[in-house]
Amino acid sequence: MKRLILVLILMFALCMTGCWDRKDIETRGFVLGIAIDDYPPIPEGRTVSPEETQPEEEKKFKVMQIHEGKPMYAMTIQIPIVKKSLLRSPFEQGVESNGSKSYELTQIGNSFFAMNREMASRIELTPYYEHLQAIVISDTLARKGLHEILDFFLRDHEMRRRTMLCISDGEAKKILDVVPRIEDYSSLVLARLPLNSTVNSRIIHETDLGRAIASIHDRDDFLLPRVEATKDEIKSSGAAVFKENKMVGWATPIEVEYIAHIRGSYEGGLITAKDPNNEEAIITLEITSSRRKITPIIENNKPKFKIDLKIKGSIAEFTNREYHKLINKKDINKIVKVFENKIKNECEATIKNIQEKYGADVFHFNIILKTQMPEYWETINEKWHDIFKDVEADVNVQVRIQNVGNIR
Amino acid sequence: MNRTTISNFQIMTLAVGTVASAKIFMVQQQLVLISKQDAWISMLLGSILTQLSAMNIYYLSILNPGKDLPQIYLQNFGKVLGRFLLIGGIIYIFTYICVITKVFTEVVKTFLLTETPATFISVLLILTIITVVRKGVESITKMSNIIAPFFLITLFLIIILSAKEANIANIKPILYKNTLNVLKGAIPAYASFLGHTFISFLLLYTPEPKKTFKWYMIGIAIPMFIYTLLTFMTMLVFDPTEVETMMYPTLSLSKSIEFPITLLERLEILMIIIWIPAMFIAISTYLYANIRSIVVFFNLKEKHHTYLAYLYLIPIVLTFYVTQDSIQTIDYINTIEIFGTIQVGVMLPIITLISLIRNKKEKKKQKQNISP
pLDDT of residue A341: 95
Question: Quick one: A71 and A209 in the same domain?
Answer: yes
What is the per-residue burial (b if ≥16 Cβ within 10 Å, else e) of A225-257?
Answer: bbbebeeeebebbbbbbbbbbbbbebbebbbbb
Q: Mean pLDDT across the stretch A99-103?
A: 82
Q: Is B211 exposed, middle or buried (0-12, 13-18, 19+ CB in 10 A)?
A: exposed
Residue A258 has pLDDT above 90, yes or no: yes
Q: Mean pLDDT across the stretch A336-363?
A: 95
pLDDT of residue A92: 55
pLDDT digits (tens, 9 = 90+) for B322-337: 877 888 888 888 899 9
Residues of B in contact with A371 (CB under 8 A): 169, 172-173
The answer to whether residues A186 and A177 touch, using CB atoms and an 8 Å cutoff, is yes
- Bridge partners of residue A166, in order along the sequence: A136
A77-91, A267-281, B138-152, B210-224: least confidently modelled range: A77-91
Query: B118-134 vs B79-111: helix axis angle to the nearest 10?
Result: 130
Query: What residue type is B332 in one-letter code?
Result: Y
The reply to whether residue A374 touches residue B176, judged by beta carbons under 8 angstroms, is: yes
Residue B39 has pLDDT above 70, yes or no: yes
pLDDT of residue B35: 95
pLDDT of residue A307: 96
- Of A222, A251, A280, the one marking the end of a domain is A251
Nearest-CA residue of chain B relative to A370? B173
Question: Quick one: A154 and A230 in the same domain?
Answer: yes
Q: Mean pLDDT across the stretch A34-63?
A: 66
The reply to whether residue A161 touches residue B256, judged by beta carbons under 8 angstroms, is: yes
Residues 6+ apart with CB under 8 A from A11: none
Higher-pLDDT residue of B260 and B226 is B226
Give the residue numbers spanning the domain of A371.
Answer: 257-403
Q: How far is B112 from chain A (nearest CA, A)?
A: 9
**What CATH superfamily is the domain B8-357?**
Amino acid/polyamine transporter I (1.20.1740.10)
Q: Mean pLDDT across the stretch A4-8?
A: 82
pLDDT of residue B133: 83
Question: Quick one: A210 and A262 in the same domain?
Answer: no
CB-nearest to A214 from B114, B239, B265 is: B239
Kindly state whether residue A39 falls inside one of the protein's structural domains: yes
C-alpha separations of A96 from A33, A93, B249 in Å: 22, 8, 46
Kindly state whether residue A317 falls inside one of the protein's structural domains: yes
Mutate to test the interface with A, among B105, B114, B174 (most CBs of A within 10 A): B114
Residues of A in contact with B265 (CB under 8 A): 130-131
Question: Quick one: A299 and A183 in the same domain?
Answer: no
- Bridge partners of residue A398, in order along the sequence: A310
Phi/psi of residue B187, each to 5°? -70, -55
Question: Quick one: A154 and A209 in the same domain?
Answer: yes
pLDDT of residue B148: 86
Q: Residue B114: helix, strand or coil by DSSP?
A: coil
Residue B261 has pLDDT above 60, yes or no: no
Residue A206 has pLDDT above 60, yes or no: yes
Residues 6+ apart with CB under 8 A from A220: A214, A244, A361, A364, A366, A367
CB-nearest to A213 from B173, B242, B266 is: B242
Nearest-CA residue of chain B relative to A372? B173
Kindly state whether residue A3 falls inside one of the protein's structural domains: no
d(CA B68, CA B65): 8
Phi/psi of residue A277, each to 5°? -95, -15
Residues 6+ apart with CB under 8 A from A401: A285, A313, A314, A315, A332, A335, A336
| Residue A16 pLDDT grade (very low, low, confident, very high; cuts 50, 70, 90) | low
d(CA B123, CA B314): 9
CA atoms within 13 A on the CB side of B155: 25
| Residue A357 pLDDT grade (very low, low, confident, very high; cuts 50, 70, 90) | very high
Q: Residue B265: helix, strand or coil by DSSP?
A: coil
The answer to whether residues A371 and A283 touch, using CB atoms and an 8 Å cutoff, is no
Q: How far is B107 from chain A (nearest CA, A)?
A: 11
Q: Mean pLDDT across the stretch A166-173?
A: 93
Q: Is the peptide bond before B117 cis (omega within 30 degrees of 0)?
A: no
| Residue B2 pLDDT grade (very low, low, confident, very high; cuts 50, 70, 90) | very low
Question: Quick one: A147 and A274 in the same domain?
Answer: no
pLDDT of residue A384: 94
d(CA A274, CA A270): 14
- Of A251, A276, A295, the one marking the end of a domain is A251
Strand locations in chain B (E): none
pLDDT digits (tens, 9 = 90+) for A268-316: 999 999 988 888 889 999 999 999 999 999 998 899 999 999 999 999 9
CA triplet B70, B74, B77: central angle to 5 degrees?
A: 125
Q: How many domains does chain A have?
A: 2
CB-nearest to B239 from A19, A160, A218 is: A218
Residues of B in contact with A264 (CB under 8 A): none
Q: How far is B253 from chain A (nearest CA, A)?
A: 9
A374 touches chain B (CB under 8 A): yes
Residues of A in contact with B238 (CB under 8 A): 214
- Of A218, A251, A284, the one marking the end of a domain is A251
A20 touches chain B (CB under 8 A): yes
Q: Residue A53: helix, strand or coil by DSSP?
A: coil
d(CA B85, CA B340): 13
Residues of B in contact with A372 (CB under 8 A): 172-173
pLDDT of residue B1: 44
The answer to whether residues A265 and A292 touch, using CB atoms and an 8 Å cutoff, is no
Kindly state whether residue A281 falls inside one of the protein's structural domains: yes
Question: Domain spans of chain B?
Answer: 8-357
Q: Mean pLDDT across the stretch A378-382?
A: 92
| Residue A364 pLDDT grade (very low, low, confident, very high; cuts 50, 70, 90) | very high
A12 touches chain B (CB under 8 A): no
Residue A54 has pLDDT above 70, yes or no: no
The reply to whether residue A21 touches residue B115, judged by beta carbons under 8 angstroms, is: yes
Question: Quick one: A342 and A237 in the same domain?
Answer: no
Nearest-CA residue of chain B relative to A132? B265
Q: How far is B224 from chain A (nearest CA, A)?
A: 27
Phi/psi of residue A351, each to 5°? -60, -45
> If you count residue pairs, one on A and one on B, with CB atoms under 8 Å apart, how many are there?
51
The reply to whether residue B245 touches residue A217, judged by beta carbons under 8 angstroms, is: yes
The reply to whether residue A214 touches residue B117, judged by beta carbons under 8 angstroms, is: no
pLDDT of residue B303: 72
Question: Quick one: A39 and A179 in the same domain?
Answer: yes
Question: Quick one: A296 and A384 in the same domain?
Answer: yes
Question: Quick one: A280 and A243 in the same domain?
Answer: no
Residue A98 has pLDDT above 70, yes or no: no
Q: What percentage of chain A carries pLDDT values higher than 70?
A: 90
pLDDT of residue A23: 82
d(CA A137, CA A169): 9
| Residue A44 pLDDT grade (very low, low, confident, very high; cuts 50, 70, 90) | very low
d(CA B316, CA B323): 11
Which of A375, A352, A360 has its CA nearest to residue A301? A375
Where do the H-state alpha helices sit in A122-172? 139-142, 147-155
CB-nearest to B258 from A160, A195, A214 is: A160
Query: B137-162 vs B118-134: helix axis angle to the nearest 10?
Result: 130
Mutate to test the interface with B, among A17, A20, A197 (most CBs of B within 10 A): A20
Kindly state whether residue A48 falls inside one of the protein's structural domains: no
Residue A344 has pLDDT above 90, yes or no: yes
Question: Quick one: A206 and A287 in the same domain?
Answer: no
Query: What residue type is B18 in one-letter code?
Result: T
pLDDT of residue B236: 93
The reply to whether residue B169 touches residue A371, judged by beta carbons under 8 angstroms, is: yes
This model of the complex carries an ipTM of 0.80
Mutate to test the interface with A, among B256, B268, B269 (most CBs of A within 10 A): B256
What is the number of other CB atoms lying within 10 angstroms of the CB of residue A306? 14
Find the CATH number of the domain harbouring A321: 3.30.300.210
Number of residues written out for chain A:
408
Question: Quick one: A193 and A305 in the same domain?
Answer: no
Query: What residue type is A163 in one-letter code?
Result: T
The reply to whether residue B120 touches residue A20, judged by beta carbons under 8 angstroms, is: yes
pLDDT of residue B265: 67
Q: Mean pLDDT across the stretch A368-387?
A: 93
| Residue A41 pLDDT grade (very low, low, confident, very high; cuts 50, 70, 90) | low
Q: Mean pLDDT across the stretch B10-26?
A: 86
Kindly state whether residue A158 falls inside one of the protein's structural domains: yes
The answer to whether residues B354 and B348 touch, using CB atoms and an 8 Å cutoff, is no
Residue A404 has pLDDT above 90, yes or no: no
pLDDT digits (tens, 9 = 90+) for B146-200: 888 888 888 888 889 888 889 899 999 999 999 999 999 999 999 999 999 999 9
Number of residues written out for chain B:
372
